[in-house]
Amino acid sequence: MNYADLFHVTLPETALEIAALVVLIVDLGFLRKVALKVRVAVAALLGVAGCGAGLWALQLQGNDWFTLFDSSGSGLLITGPYVKVAQIGILVLTALTFLLLIGSDFTRHVGEFVAVVLMASSGGLLVAGALDLLVIYVGLELLSLGLYIITAFAKTSGKSAEAALKYYLFGGMSAAFLLFGFSYLYGLSGSTNLSAIQLAIVESGPSPVFYVAWIFVVTGLGFKVAAVPFHLWAPDTYEGAPTPAAAFIASVSKVASFTLLLTLFQAWMIYGGTFDLGKSEADKILIHSDNTWLPLAAILLIVAAASMIVGNLAALVQVSVRRLLAYSAIAHSGYILLGVAVYKMHTYNETGIFETLLPVIESQKAVLYYVLTYGLTTIGAFGVVSVVERATGSGRMDSFLGLHKRNSLLALVLLVLFLSLAGIPPLVGFWTKFNLFAAVLGVSAGPVPFVLVALAVAMSAVSLYYYLQVLKRAYVMPAIDETPIKAHPVTLAVLVGIAAAVVVLGCFPALLQGWIESAYK
Amino acid sequence: MLAWTIYLSFAGALVQALLPKSRAGLARWLALAVAVAGLTFAVAGFVAGMGQGRVVLADVPWVPSMGIHFLLAADGISRVLVLLTGLAAIAGVLFSWNIELRAHEFFAFYLALIGGVYGVFLSFDLFLLFVFYEIAIVPKYFLIAIWGSTQREYAAMKLAIYSFAGSAMVLIGLLAIYATAGSHSTGLIELSHAELPVSFQMWCFPLVFTGFAILAGMWPFHTWAPTGHVAAPTAASMLLAGVVMKLGAYGCLRVGIALFPRGLDPWGFSFAGLGSWRDVFAVLAVIGIVYGALVALAQTDFKFVIGYSSVSHMGFVLLGLITLNQIGVTGAVLQMFSHGILAGLLFAIVGRIVYERTHTRKLAELETMHLSKRMPFAAAAFVIAGLASMGMPGFSGFVAELQVLVGAWKVNPWWAITAGVGIVVGVAYTWRAMQKAFFSDALPSAHVLEEEHGHHFAAITWPEVTGVVMLAGVSLFVGLYPKILLDAIEPAVKALLAGGGQ
């Protein structure tokens, strides 16, 4: 392993870790006696600066594929176009989380909170670019441990502790499943490198042990993305965690985990981008691959369908807005998994160089587009919920009664974000769903994907009902209490900014799609 | 020029949303100004487009990766329906002149809805059309839920769910077309030449057609319409019945029939006398005509009578579309225009002019009020609107329904005969409602009433007079001189039936 390469690849992670240390030093060293408000603001701004440094570091890395190899020559970490899209998303969403932190007072240990979030975020960056089982595992644990800690951060709240414990127990179990699955994969192939594992499996043909391993892996990752039946932690955690923590879990952790799922399926592509396989070799792989990966996709599709159904139907009866958002997150995971699972392996050019697998990229772009915009929208939604909760003391739906009278701007933001989550044009949520479903059908127009897309569209029609339940309280039903709700100016500015972004990206969908697209050229 | 109707309405909605709360008067005048400007553009576009085919108004790549264009264009059908929207928009503002509660929000939602409607009628890109179609759903919900009456939250949610379920069906169909056509354009004209496989058309056509027809009030998916119309504030019922239901019918024509010409072919076998999707939908349309009329005959609530009459009249539109012949489809488009004007007028009289003064819509209570003597303007207006709605020669409804019936007769005389029964029942329910509400001489007499209670109804206001005169005048004018619209509609229908337009 070349240490200069290592430094080059992990530049953004390094920036975040340094920022975490700076935050700790500044907060614990210099600001002990200062008012909490100032400490929160300073820590949050330092966190934002850290994310900015991370973005700058990504810029420095350049736009080409760059792989870090270990001593035996197999890839460990990669950076480059599509990984970068996910990493930029992670950094921006983390920065937004910090901005929403300003003005909150759930903890006195702000320095630690910001530092932990930064470290978790660097775990997310690692996961997004990992090519090796061990790196994946380390990155994932770095991310998850941070999430457990920030969930428990409201020390005076029993709910926060309960949520963290549930999250931790489920999470620990799922990590064990994941690691067990990984051990099988290693046993089958003798390597921890994803491409090597895939090659070994294709060459030896599919074996039952491989599918068992895959089930374990799906269990572990299904937990991270809150897919049914591994979703039980989500409602409690979303409800109990302090708002910035919940927003972070709902957005950044999702982006990282879905990018990882893409990588697991697509190490091919990255592999193909850097290696010359020779035509006969490539042919052999293509012949095998369809049969090999089909059961894997089938498992994901089942999970996806279950998530869509359970998430949407359970959300219908929720009275707490956070739990509603949790179930809606489960449903959204279902839609996204559809995009991950439907694949097609075909195109390679005549020279036999594994150039591109076009249709796969199509749905992959759509998946990235979906998670990024979903993350953005959901952070905003949690921001609105936190403002209302602080003013009314409860996150139940009824505390949104008469919101349009109490703070009309906040109500407008809520309207935009929730309609976007429901997928109403011209908001970005429509294009994400639309793009994803179209991509799925573009990859494979067979009856199974079509039925699943039809199910997804039907389920998102169902989802409008529960989003409207909240909006109905904000706009239609009479207010019980008409005292104005005051939001911290920074929070309000961030929320309005997010809502504006949702509208603009919805009216001009080519902006973000074009950017993601350009990462593939 | 026509494209400005869209931009102007959305800009108006935005400005309304930002207006201060206390300026209800300003909100009204602004809304009226936007609506009048919209109609001005619509008329100018109509006049400029006379004798022309399809004119492209704007064509900008929108989502390049999927080949979606921001493609606005207008042919004769679009121009007529845009004209209808402009008229309905003005009438709606005039009849909501008394809205004081959150007036600027009301007009913001109202103008957003209008903008979406204009957008649907002018879109010639499949997905752009769908986007505008969905934009129109949300404002409807809030208009009914916030400013409505009887069971408004229930009715609003029912309407939203029906609409969204319908548009979900449409979306599934559109995604399927996109995947099957495999072309890199989503323009309606290009897609209509895409030669989709017949088996695909056979299953996708009913999906898309039904999805749109839900919004057009096709039996048995019509139940949102009466409850929605009744619960909605007057302006919203006028728009719902007047133009929003037309969105559904327009979608059936522009997307359903134009993109799946083979979807209406015979199946090759027949089941219970039905041999193709065409038979199925024609039967549903005819049932809608007769059923809507019969149910309207039994209503005790004045507004429900009009609500069910909409279901019946929209049945004519669907029947006309499904005839697939020149005269039938032309009649359907003309019926869309005619019903848009007349339903607006009827809802205005019942929901606004009468209800605001009597505070009841129960026919049994109206019977005792002697409205023909105490509110002669309303009575006269209703007689005119009722006659027009029954299909009295000289009004727009007659020309339209006649063409539909002729078109239907050519395909299957039984459809025309059964639909004719609907017309007869239509005369009966209009007559019954008119008689009970205005001309009943049940005790006590008008004279006694006014003396006893010292109660006079408020005078008719200028917005009411203007609105009634405008709508009734348009219906009469079109009835006497239908050529002005038919000249625009006929070539467009011809082109559309010949293969999706030129």
**pLDDT (tens digit per residue) in B165-175:** 999 999 988 88
Q: How far is A280 from chain B (nearest CA, A)?
A: 31
Sign of CA dihedral B285, B291, B296, B301: negative
Q: What does DSSP say about strands B266-271 and B274-276: parallel, antiparallel, or unpaired?
A: antiparallel
pLDDT of residue B261: 82
- Cβ within 8 Å, pair A461-B63: no
- 3-state percent breakdown (helix, strand, coil) of chain A, nearest 5: 75, 5, 20
> Residue holding tokens 């991509």?
A439
Query: How many CB pairs (< 8 A) connect A and B?
Result: 83
Q: Which two tokens stand for residue B238?
A: 């006028």
Contact residues, chain A, for B141 at CB < 8 Å = 468
Residue B377 has pLDDT above 70, yes or no: yes
Q: How far is A368 from chain B (nearest CA, A)?
A: 15
Sign of CA dihedral B235, B240, B241, B243: positive
Separation CA A416–CA A412 (nearest Å):
6
Separation CA A391–CA A389 (nearest Å):
5
- Cβ within 8 Å, pair B175-A464: no
DSSP bridge pairs for B123 = B72
DSSP bridge pairs for B276 = B266
Residue of B nearest to A450 (CA): B176
Q: How far is B133 from chain A (nearest CA, A)?
A: 9
Q: Which of A476, A477, A512 to mutate to test the interface with B (most CBs of B within 10 A)?
A: A476
Tell the burial category of B20 from Cβ atoms under 10 Å away from its Cβ (0-12, 13-18, 19+).
exposed
In contact, B402 and B319? CB cutoff 8 Å: no
In contact, A429 and A422? CB cutoff 8 Å: yes
Q: Which two tokens stand for residue A270?
A: 């990255």
**CA distance between the termini of chain A:** 29
Separation CA A432–CA A422 (nearest Å):
11
Average pLDDT, chain B: 85
- Cβ within 8 Å, pair A509-B63: yes
- Nearest of A464, A501, A118 to residue A324 by alpha carbon: A464
Q: How far is B176 from chain A (nearest CA, A)?
A: 7
Q: Which residues contact A285 (CB under 8 A, 6 or more apart)?
A: A199, A202, A277
pTM of the model: 0.90
Q: How far is A517 from chain B (nearest CA, A)?
A: 8
A496-512 tens-digit pLDDT = 999 999 999 998 888 88
Q: How far is A454 from chain B (nearest CA, A)?
A: 6
pLDDT-based confidence at B444, cuts 50/70/90? low
- Chain A positions contacting chain B at CB under 8 Å are 404, 412, 419, 424-426, 430-431, 434-435, 437-438, 441-442, 445, 450, 453-454, 457-458, 460-461, 464-465, 468, 472, 475-477, 509-510, 513-514, 517
Contact residues, chain A, for B156 at CB < 8 Å = 476
| Structure-model confidence comparison of residues B290 and B372, the more confident one | B290
Helices A428-443 and A408-422: crossing angle in degrees, nearest 10, is 10
Residue segments in chain A with a per-residue pLDDT below the cut of 50: 268-278, 287, 347-359
Q: How far is B135 from chain A (nearest CA, A)?
A: 6
Q: Is B182 helix (H, G, I), strand (E, B) or coil?
A: coil
- ipTM score assigned to the predicted complex: 0.88
Burial A278-302 (b: 16+ CB within 10 A, else e): eeeebeebbebbeebbeebbebbbb
Separation CA B202–CA B213 (nearest Å):
17
Separation CA B76–CA B55 (nearest Å):
9
Contact residues, chain A, for B168 at CB < 8 Å = 457-458, 460-461
pLDDT of residue B502: 40
Q: How far is B276 from chain A (nearest CA, A)?
A: 24
Delimit the domains of chain B by residue range.
3-499
Q: What's at A103, amino acid-wise?
A: G
Q: Which of B69, B131, B174, B203 to mutate to test the interface with A (most CBs of A within 10 A)?
A: B131
How is B294-342 classified by DSSP, letter by letter? Answer: HHHHT-SBHHHHHHHHHHHHHHHHHHHHHH-SHHHHHHHHHHHHHHHHH
Q: Distances from the Cα of A310 to the Cαs of A39, A41, A336, A457, in angstroms?
A: 42, 40, 15, 15
- Cβ within 8 Å, pair B153-A464: no
Residue B372 has pLDDT above 70, yes or no: yes
B301 in contact with chain A, both atoms CB, cutoff 8 A:
no
Q: Which two tokens stand for residue A475?
A: 């706009």
Q: Which of A457, A467, A471, A473 to mutate to test the interface with B (most CBs of B within 10 A)?
A: A457
Separation CA A295–CA A221 (nearest Å):
17
Q: Which of A425-434, B59-68, B290-299 has the lowest mean pLDDT?
A: B59-68
- Cβ within 8 Å, pair A450-B176: yes
Burial B224-258 (b: 16+ CB within 10 A, else e): bbbbbbbbbbbbbbbbbbbbbbbbbbbbbbbbbbb
Separation CA A430–CA A420 (nearest Å):
6
Of A426, A457, A513, the CB nearest to B131: A426
- Cβ within 8 Å, pair A438-B178: yes
Q: Which two tokens stand for residue B35?
A: 């609506």
Residue of A nearest to B102 (CA): A405
Phi-psi map region of A357: left, alpha, beta (phi>0 left; psi -120 to 50 alpha):
beta
B407-423 tens-digit pLDDT = 999 888 888 899 888 88
pLDDT of residue A372: 92
Distance of CA A517 to the CA centre of its chain: 19
Among the residues of A342-398, which ranges form H helices? 358-392
In contact, B294 and B304? CB cutoff 8 Å: no
- Nearest of A400, A402, A435 to residue A418 by alpha carbon: A400
Contact residues, chain A, for B236 at CB < 8 Å = none
- Cβ within 8 Å, pair B160-A517: no
pLDDT of residue B177: 85
**CA distance between the termini of chain B:** 21
Q: How far is A335 from chain B (nearest CA, A)?
A: 14
In contact, B486 and B375? CB cutoff 8 Å: no
Q: What's at B353, amino acid-wise?
A: I
pLDDT of residue B443: 63
Contact residues, chain A, for B144 at CB < 8 Å = none
Residue of A nearest to B17 (CA): A412
- Cβ within 8 Å, pair A472-B135: no
Q: Which of A335, A368, A418, A434 to mutate to test the interface with B (most CBs of B within 10 A)?
A: A434
Query: With a CB-CB cutoff of 8 Å, which residues 140-179 of chain B face chain A?
Result: 141-142, 145-146, 153, 156-157, 160-161, 164-165, 167-168, 171-172, 175-176, 178-179
